[in-house]
């Protein structure tokens, strides 16, 4: 057990993967769903008042009369998807978490909302010219490695119709300004990561040469050690615009958040609305 622990200590290589499932872990996904559904908490989802503002802005920007088919990547339990559906969009939601998709399907059925939900990894998306809008919201894009981001953009570009739009948001490096590399530990009888007694060693690592940051959680029980790496690649405006241009999106508009705020140089968030021109 000690040798396994030592293997996870130290500075991980950039984009080193977690050693155990995260999004679809039976215990973790229960806590994540509760965080999604808390209307006041900016945790797994943004607070629900902001979600309302975000959906309203997208509705005004790209109304369903002209852009009827919308794909919600990383849809979670359907908080955005349900709101988009009520606005008149034909909505498809994709998420890796079985628990979130199960909740989303049940919730839509109870409300009589016709939403298509798919339990899959959006890195494996293979759809051809089916959607007018694709959204990837709450900075999920920055959690991906360089190669995975390229794959997602290629998949989205293929899924969009001509003149379709991708809307995504990311953190800027200012999100982590002033944070120092730290390691702390705590013991819990039961917690977010495990339902049984466990020790959690939490570390924050900076990879400033690539504007990337890592929250690492090494969780030790009496039976196993799991390492969860939560990466955050952050973007300056031209970095994000460059990746989107490189994927074929020639028109990219920048905002301060995914509710249409004006971008400011001191913003910790960027939102891009990218158009597929052909």
CA 132/CA 41 separation, integer angstroms:
30
Which of 45-49, 60-64, 155-159 is predicted least confidently?
45-49
Confidence band for 124, pLDDT divided at 50, 70 and 90 = very high
Task: Quick: pLDDT tens for 25-45.
Answer: 889 998 888 888 888 878 768
Through-space distance between the first and last CA atoms of the chain, rounded to whole angstroms: 55
Q: Which residue has the tokens 């953009």?
A: 153
pLDDT of residue 6: 65
Side-chain-facing half-sphere of 117: CA atoms under 13 Å: 28
Confidence band for 156, pLDDT divided at 50, 70 and 90 = very high
Confidence band for 267, pLDDT divided at 50, 70 and 90 = very high
Q: What percent of the chain has pLDDT over 70?
A: 96
Task: Quick: pLDDT tens for 68-85.
Answer: 999 999 999 999 999 999
Confidence band for 8, pLDDT divided at 50, 70 and 90 = low
Task: Quick: pLDDT tens for 106-118.
Answer: 999 999 999 999 9
What is 61-73 written as a DSSP string? Answer: HS-TTT--EEEEE
Structural domains present in the chain: 2-21+175-232 (no CATH), 38-172+235-275 (3.40.50.150)
| Strand ranges for 137-264 from DSSP E | 160-171, 182-188, 198-207, 212-220, 225-233, 251-255
pTM: 0.94
Helix (H) or strand (E) holding 85: helix 79-86
pLDDT of residue 278: 74
User: What integer best gives the mean pLDDT of the chain?
Assistant: 94
């Amino acid at each position: 057990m000690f040798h396994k622990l030592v293997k996870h200590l130290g500075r991980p290589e950039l984009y080193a993967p977690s050693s155990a499932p995260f999004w679809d872990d039976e215990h973790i996904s229960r806590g994540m769903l509760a965080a999604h559904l808390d209307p006041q908490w900016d945790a797994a989802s943004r607070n629900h008042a902001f979600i309302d503002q975000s959906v309203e802005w997208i509705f005004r920007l790209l109304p369903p009369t002209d852009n009827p088919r919308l794909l919600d990547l990383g849809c979670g339990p359907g908080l955005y998807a349900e709101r988009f559906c009520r606005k008149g969009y034909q909505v498809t939601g994709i998420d890796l978490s079985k628990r979130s998709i199960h909740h989303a399907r049940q919730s839509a059925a109870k409300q009589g909302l016709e939403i298509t939900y798919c339990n899959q990894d959006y890195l494996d998306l293979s759809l051809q010219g089916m959607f007018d809008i694709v959204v990837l919201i709450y900075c999920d894009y920055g959690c991906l490695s360089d190669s995975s981001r390229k794959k997602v953009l290629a998949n989205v570009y293929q899924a969009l119709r001509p003149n379709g739009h991708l809307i995504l948001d990311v953190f800027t490096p200012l999100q982590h300004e002033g944070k120092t590399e730290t390691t702390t530990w705590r013991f819990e009888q039961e917690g977010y990561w495990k339902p049984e007694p466990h020790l959690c060693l939490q570390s924050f690592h900076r990879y400033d040469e690539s504007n990337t940051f890592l929250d690492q959680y090494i969780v030790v029980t009496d039976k196993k050690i799991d390492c969860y790496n939560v990466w955050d690649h952050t973007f300056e405006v031209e970095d994000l615009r460059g990746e989107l241009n490189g994927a074929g999106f020639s028109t990219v508009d920048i905002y301060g958040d995914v509710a249409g705020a004006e971008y400011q140089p001191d913003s910790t968030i960027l939102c891009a609305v990218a158009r597929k021109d052909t």
